[in-house]
Amino acid sequence: MNITDSESLFIKKTNRRRALKTLSLTALAAAVFKLTPAEGQELINSKSLALPAFEFGDPSLAVIDLALNLEYLEANFYSYATTGMGIASQGVDITGRGKQGTVNVPSTTQVNFTNPSIAAYAAEITADEIAHVNFLRAVAKAGGHTPVAQPSIDLVNSFNTAAAAAGLGSAFNPFEDSAGDLNFLLGAFIFEDVGVTAYHGAISTISDKIIITAAAGIMGTEAYHAANIRNEIYKLGAAAVSAADAISIARNSLGGEGVDQGLQFAGLSNLVPADSNAIVFSRTAQLVSNIVYLGVNAKKGGFFPEGMSKR
């Protein structure tokens, strides 16, 4: 396979995206590596890579593992919000290395959206995050490694803790829709900018060009998501913006001072959290962990009560 620098291996020249329900791994490998399905299967079987033959402990693999954990979290949140069920029930393979867990959710999760545009965005983001889970799993496998399994995920106590940390009260349920879409948006807001900074930070640790392009490709999508969520919150007015600001301040105390920004600044919008060069921020894996564990230097807790899956 001849790979040129100017060619991305990940362009699938279809005009429109397709929802990913149950995917065949060979089809994914074909999409990822521009191989025929037969070649893709051979690649998976042979475990020899045209792809980065990364070793245990290689930064590329650590990046993929961390990213996959985060995508399990995001994908489940959006899946529960839009369909009332998690990604496993949607046919996504969540098995693999480490201890597989379930998702703790309130008894009702499907959000009855007030704004049809937000409903549309939520469905679109759900499809994207599931695609990311599937893609990262495929990349791990193509590298000859078993992907990490979905760990235990908490979408109940975590949000309560996060709200308390932000000074928004002792309880918060992002799936609670009786007052409109704001709770869902704030729940999404907790994740999305973090995802961007996580991928941005990770890219600087890896040298493999294929993984860099892939990570940047996912980061780009997460940035579109984050902007969309921030925009919708902003349009809901002052109270919504204040709530998001409180979350941002809490994130700053966990995940690095100054790398999180609220939605307004000096009376104008601040939809892009960025530094004085208008560049999005980065976070290290440690800072990302602090946020998702809701504790500085914590090894587990928050959204991952037993910690993220490690191989």
Instruction: Determine, following the binding rule CB under 8 A, whether residue 124 of this chain makes contact with other proteins.
Output: yes
| Inter-residue contact 270 to 227 (CB < 8 Å) | no
* Residue showing tokens 């100054």: 258
* Residue showing tokens 């046919």: 91
Instruction: Determine, following the binding rule CB under 8 A, whether residue 30 of this chain makes contact with other proteins.
Output: no
In the bound state with other proteins, the residue whose beta carbon lies nearer, of 94 and 198, is 198
| Inter-residue contact 250 to 193 (CB < 8 Å) | no
CA geometry: angle at 240 spanning 239 and 243, to 5°? Answer: 90
Question: Of 2, 22, 170, 277, which lies in the binding site for other proteins, with binding defined by CB under 8 A?
Answer: 277
- Measured CA to CA in angstroms, residue 45 lies from 26, 42, 173, 240 at distances of 10, 5, 44, 51
- Measured CA to CA in angstroms, residue 23 lies from 34, 87, 93, 125, 195 at distances of 16, 13, 9, 18, 24
Instruction: With CB under 8 A as the rule, give the number of residues binding other proteins.
Output: 77
Question: Of 97, 235, 300, 311, which lies in the binding site for other proteins, with binding defined by CB under 8 A?
Answer: 235
In the bound state with other proteins, the residue whose beta carbon lies nearer, of 163 and 215, is 215
Instruction: Determine, following the binding rule CB under 8 A, whether residue 129 of this chain makes contact with other proteins.
Output: yes
Phi, psi of 301 (to 5 degrees): 120, -175
Question: Of 89, 95, 204, 286, which lies in the binding site for other proteins, with binding defined by CB under 8 A?
Answer: 204
In the bound state with other proteins, the residue whose beta carbon lies nearer, of 179 and 266, is 266
- How near is the Cβ of 137 to other proteins at its closest, in Å? 11
Instruction: Determine, following the binding rule CB under 8 A, whether residue 110 of this chain makes contact with other proteins.
Output: no
Instruction: Determine, following the binding rule CB under 8 A, whether residue 17 of this chain makes contact with other proteins.
Output: yes
In the bound state with other proteins, the residue whose beta carbon lies nearer, of 109 and 126, is 126
Instruction: Determine, following the binding rule CB under 8 A, whether residue 89 of this chain makes contact with other proteins.
Output: no
In the bound state with other proteins, the residue whose beta carbon lies nearer, of 140 and 226, is 226
| The pair of three-digit structure tokens given for residue 35, joined into one six-digit string | 């191989």
Residue 35 and residue 48: Cα distance in Å, rounded?
14
